[in-house]
Amino acid sequence: MRAIGVEAAGVTKRFGAFTALDDVSLKVRPGTVHALLGENGAGKSTFVKCLLGYYRADSGDFVIGDRQEAIAQPQDADRLGLGMVYQHFTLVPSMSAAENLVMARADVPRVIAWKAERKRLGEFMSRMPFKIPLDIALGMLAAGERQKAEILKQLYLQRRVIVLDEPTSTLTPQEAEDVLNLMRELATSGELTIIIITHKLKEVMAFADEVTVLRRGRMAGGGKVGELTAIDMTTMMIGAAHEPGTLTRSGDPEAAARLTIRDLRSLGDHGRAGLDIAALDVRPHEILGIAGVSGNGQRELMEVLGGQRPPTGGEIRVADRSYHARRNEMHALGVRLLPEEPLRNACAPGMSVIANLNLRTFDRTDNGARRFWLDRRRMAERGRTMIEMFGIRTPSPDAPIGALSGGNVQRSVLARELDGDVEVLIVANPCFGLDVKAVAEIRARIVAARNAGTAMLLISADLDELLELSDRIVVMCEGKIVYETPGTGADAHEIGRHMAGHA
């Protein structure tokens, strides 16, 4: 059996005065799938980063295999056969998947025999449940494809233990199932021990053997999956049973569209079909959901609407005025965006939470006029209100936003983008990485914005989310809108067929 066990005893980790992990002990048996659960900010990522030598625990021990090991730096973890797929991307974006994989090997020779390497890589890829383009710079790929490359890298390195931090969030349901099935098989056959962090209890129930639950940095419980119910697990996570709220819609979509897109074209990355949208309208009091397999133009559309990619033709209008995604237009027309990977695409990671919450408004007075000096007191006040209203968990309002847990970054950006009068809101995967409670909260806020009259374009890789939230759903495939259906009574299978291009 190649797989080895992992044990932690009394692991504590502090960041300044803040204790992120407090005396955490757990045991992962070799060849099992062990799920690590907990609310946003519970300390899951911090724990696995200590295990991987990315952070140094203040106290506590790790036993890897049957030996106590000091894991002081990532190289130590590497040597022990521990690998990790992080919540954020770690591969070099300017290099291709092939280059990234080969370069990641510890024994990479000084002169690379590319022909032999390609052969080896080809054989490896033929055993994998999914494919990615091997020769295109990873930075050009959609999040879902990059996620797959990160997983492939760990498998390529022949680890003995793999830690996955929310691996399926950017994948389609089918891809997620394939990845989890593969992990399950590798564990059962004794090849690998798997530690998986996820917020999806369905995945835990179907694929994990045991769970450990963290709450606010402490152990809150755990056990064999077969002996626990989903309610047991959420109760351990949040300290009480979670009551899912019901979303109430009020107000029907108005007749006149607020966001109109006509004949919009843009180039696609690396020879992929670009955008080619004949017509797309979003009305006030309407959530228009865009379904599609990641990599079919969603990212290009988001970039065009956010001003990061120039369209090559067509027109976008907001409230009947021409729109070119400039910052002052966005301000005047009330257009807001929540892109995917918000830490990378919508934050200044080294700046404070307060500064990030004020990015849209720091140069404006309260009534929208231009301001020439910063009102730091007003910024702090606004920031604190948003932190309070959205329940953003941060060590301090002045902490760099890059130090927040994934879910709390997401909440921060949404808090900022929902602040003030929002005429058009464009969101991509808004619940990516959020815990059950936060998902319910964010969805309620999205519906509340719709009820208040916002016209909303919701791009999501999560079909369940689209079915729950959308007034209308369209499917995007190879840059085109290929199918449309009302949200009520929408047929998931029919949507799935169009997503896969089998229409």
Ligand X SMILES: Nc1ncnc2c1ncn2[C@@H]1O[C@H](COP(=O)(O)OP(=O)(O)OP(=O)(O)O)[C@@H](O)[C@H]1O
Interface with Mg ion, residue 217, by CB under 5 A: no
SS3 for 456?
strand
Q: How many residues does the chain have?
A: 503
Q: How far apart are CA 469 and CA 69, in angstroms?
A: 48
The stretch near ligand X (CB under 6 A) out of 69-77, 188-196, 287-295, 405-413 is 405-413
Residue 45 sits in the site that holds ligand X (CB under 6 A):
yes
According to the binding rule CB under 6 A, does residue 154 interact with ligand X?
Answer: no
Distance CA 373, CA 296 (A): 43
Q: Does 406 bind Mg ion (CB under 5 A)?
A: yes
46: contact with ligand X by CB under 6 A: yes
- DSSP state letters, 13-37: EEETTEEEEEEEEEEE-TT-EEEEE
Show Cβ contacts of residue 479 under 8 Å, excluding neighbours closer than 6 positions.
268, 272, 273, 274, 275, 276, 277, 296, 297, 300
Min dist. Cβ of residue 398 to ligand X (A)? 11
Does position 167 bind Mg ion by CB under 5 A?
no
User: Would you say 153 or 200 has its CB closer to ligand X?
Assistant: 200
Q: Which does 41 bind (CB under 5 to 8 A by kind): Mg ion, ligand X, none?
A: ligand X
Number of H helices, E strands in the chain: 17, 20
407 binds ligand X (CB under 6 A): yes
Give the nearest residue (CB) to Mg ion: 45
C-alpha to C-alpha distances, 260 to 280, 316, 333, 339, 453, nearest whole angstrom: 6, 6, 13, 19, 16
d(CA 390, CA 397): 13
Longest distance between any two alpha carbons in the chain, whole Å = 68
Kindly state whether residue 430 participates in binding ligand X, applying the rule CB under 6 A: no
Dist CA 293 CA 501 (whole Å):
10
Could you tell which of ligand X, Mg ion, none binds residue 20, using a CB distance below 5 to 8 A set by kind?
ligand X
Q: Which is nearer to ligand X, 395 or 397 (CB)?
A: 395
Q: Mask 446-485, x = binds ligand X (CB under 6 A)?
A: ----------------------------------------
Per CB under 6 A, 404 contacts ligand X: yes
Q: Is 294 in the site for ligand X (CB under 6 A)?
A: no
Least Cβ distance, residue 79 to Mg ion (angstroms)? 25
Long-range contacts of 14-20 (CB under 8 A, 24+ apart): 14/58, 15/395, 15/403, 16/395, 18/395, 19/217, 20/46, 20/217
Supply φ then ψ for residue 483, to 5 degrees.
-160, 145
Taking the chain, what is the end-to-end CA distance rounded to the nearest angstrom? Answer: 46
What's the min distance (Å) between Cβ of 354 and ligand X?
Answer: 15
State the binding partner of 289 from Mg ion, ligand X, none, CB within 5 to 8 A by kind: none
- The per-residue DSSP string of 266-278 comes to EPPGGG---EEEE
Does residue 41 interact with ligand X by CB under 6 A? yes
Instruction: Report if residue 44 touches ligand X, rule: CB under 6 A.
Output: yes
Q: Which of 20, 45, 236, 495 binds Mg ion (CB under 5 A)?
A: 45
Give me 287's structure tokens.
């959530």
Is residue 236 within 8 A of residue 215, CB to CB? The reply is yes
> In the beta sheet, which residues pair with residue 96?
137
Residue 158, both tokens: 């022949």
82 binds, among Mg ion, ligand X, none (CB under 5 to 8 A by kind): none
Q: Which is nearer to ligand X, 431 or 467 (CB)?
A: 431
With contacts defined by CB under 5 A, name the span among 41-49, 150-158, 377-385, 482-490 that binds Mg ion: 41-49
- Considering CB distances under 5 to 8 angstroms, the limit depending on partner class, which of Mg ion, ligand X, none binds residue 30? none
Q: Which is nearer to ligand X, 42 or 64 (CB)?
A: 42
Contact partner at residue 46 from Mg ion, ligand X, none, CB < 5 to 8 Å by partner kind: ligand X
Rank residues 185 and 398 by Cβ distance to ligand X and give the closer one. Answer: 398
Nearer to ligand X, 211 or 280 (CB): 211
With respect to ligand X, which residue has the nearer C-beta, 44 or 283? Answer: 44
> HEC string of 346-375?
CCCCCCEHHHHHCCCCCCECCCCCECCCCC
Q: For helices 436-451 and 406-417, give the axis angle rounded to 10 degrees.
A: 10
What string marks each residue from 74 to 93 as x (binds ligand X by CB under 6 A) or -? -------------x------
CB of 163 or CB of 418, closer to ligand X: 163
Q: By CB under 6 A, is residue 38 in contact with ligand X?
A: yes
Stretch that binds ligand X, among 205-213, 229-237, 406-414, 458-466 (CB under 6 A): 406-414
Per-residue 3-state assignment (H helix, E strand, C coil) for 112-128: CCHHHHHHHHHHHHHCC
**Coil, strand or helix: which one is 189?**
coil
CB of 443 to ligand X, least distance (A): 17
- CB of residue 421 vs ligand X: minimum separation in angstroms? 29
Stretch that binds Mg ion, among 30-38, 39-47, 94-102, 396-404 (CB under 5 A): 39-47
Q: Using CB under 6 A, which of the segments 38-46, 243-251, 307-315, 328-336 binds ligand X?
A: 38-46
Q: Residue 297: name the closest of 499, 149, 492, 503 by CA.
A: 499
Relative to beta strand 472-477, strand 480-486 is antiparallel
Site of interaction with Mg ion (CB under 5 A): 45, 405-406
Residues forming contacts to ligand X in the complex (CB under 6 A) are 15, 18, 20, 38, 40-46, 87, 393-395, 403-408, 433, 435
